[in-house]
Structure formats: structure tokens, C-alpha cells
Amino acid sequence: MLPGRGPNGRAAAARLSRLMGTRTTWTPVGDGEFFCPGCGGDRNYQRLSGQRRFALLGVPVLPRGATGPVVECAACRHHFGTDVLDHPTTTRFSAMLRDAVHTVALAVLAAGGTCSRASLETAAAAVRAAGFDDCTEEQLAALVEALEADTGRFTGGPCAAGLAIELHEALDPLAPHLAAPGRESILLQGARIALADGPYTPAERDALATVGAALTICSDDVTRLLAAARTPS
């Protein structure tokens, strides 16, 4: 007799599933670190592939095929689909954010040509706030000089080719993991560096447009944000 609905039915179903049902045995196929959405933090995980077997009285008798793979959190033991691995760990995410601000600062400084003290101070403060605690104005100035020596041969200013690639490399992987305010905040930090020594130059506008595009901010919003950054809040 098949179990029906209601409390008696559920009890019967539970009894039945103890007698027979599908059991899955998991085999580790890899490990690493991920952000666990279950217990909310960077954790170790094991990647498991499963083998399903039909079991009678708890004893697996018939293979029912492969299942998974799943990701098991070492801390809370919850299982997740492997798509959880698409999300960066908090450590990785902070590093991406820090690199993004650093690259944007360099691109804007390089686009401005000779770096004024005010631009360097604004840039260094932004980079320190993003996580490079010991970033100094002198370090940034030296990097910009090295970039200019390296990329100055491109026509159309130092930002034209080399830095556009750098910007995309730093920002493209980050953009999908940031909500709109987070992406806008990175662009605004770049805008404030550009504005520290006066109005935007065409090269600074170009660099900021590249930043906006890499952050998947549409060009209308880039224009709006660049105008908003000019108005001191």
C-alpha cells in the first residue's frame, strides 16, 4: 500500500524511505576556497561527485547513475551547486577592488600628463582607502612616469592603448560582482582624481569613459556621473 497524505501518510513514507530509497555516496574530486553562502564567509570546500544507488534496508543494491558534482563547505557541511564557485571569496573580492582603484588612479593620472601634487594626493588617498595601506604619492608618480616611458610611443596620448587594456583587465572581472553604486563609486573616485587639478582634460574624459565602459556603466550615466562629480557635495 502506498502512503497517503496527512501525518499518518508522512510517517508511513518515512518508514518506507528507511526500508528503501536512493542513497548517494560522495567522492572528493577537488578542493579549494570559496565564499560559503550558507555560513557566510571564506571557507574551504571539497568538490564532490556522487554515485546514486538504489538501497534496500540501507544497503546499496542497484546503481542509479552519477549525480553532482556538488561543493561541500568544510565548516557548515552544506552542499551547493558548483555555480557558487563563480563568486569570488571576500579576500579575492577585496584584492580585485583594490587593484581596480589602483589601475583607475594610474590611468587618470597618466591621462592628465604631468601629475600635480593635488592629483597625486587625491589618488594616493583613494588607493590607500581601497586597501594599499602604504601607497604614497611618490610611488604613484614613479609608476606614472614608468607608464609614460613605456606607452608614450602610442599616438593619442599615454592612455590610448596600453592603459585601456590594463583597465579592462582590472575591471571586467570585477564588474559582474558589483551592484550599480559600487561600480559608480569606482568611476567617481577616478573623476575626483581628474578634477583635483582643474576641469577634465579631453584625455582624462577618454580615460574615464574607458573606466565607465569596463564597469558596464552606460555612456549616458558616465556623462551624468562625471558632471555630478564636478559639483562638490
Residues in contact with Zn ion by CB under 5 A are 36, 38-39, 73, 75-76
The one-letter code for the residue type at 11 is A
Q: Choose between 87 and 168: whose C-beta lies nearer to Zn ion.
A: 87
Residues 6+ apart with CB under 8 A from 125: none
Asked if residue 19 lies in contact with residue 44, where contact means CB atoms within 8 angstroms, the answer is no
**Least distance from Zn ion to the Cβ atom of residue 40, Å:** 8
**Least distance from Zn ion to the Cβ atom of residue 42, Å:** 10
Q: Choose between 68 and 212: whose C-beta lies nearer to Zn ion.
A: 68
Query: Is the sign of the CA dihedral 219, 92, 189, 165 positive or negative?
Result: negative
**Least distance from Zn ion to the Cβ atom of residue 43, Å:** 5
Q: Choose between 38 and 50: whose C-beta lies nearer to Zn ion.
A: 38
**Least distance from Zn ion to the Cβ atom of residue 46, Å:** 12
Which stretches does DSSP call E strand in the chain? 20-36, 41-56, 59-73, 79-81
Q: Choose between 39 and 218: whose C-beta lies nearer to Zn ion.
A: 39
Asked if residue 39 lies in contact with residue 75, where contact means CB atoms within 8 angstroms, the answer is yes
Q: Which of 96, 127, 112, 101 is nearest to 196 (CA)?
A: 112
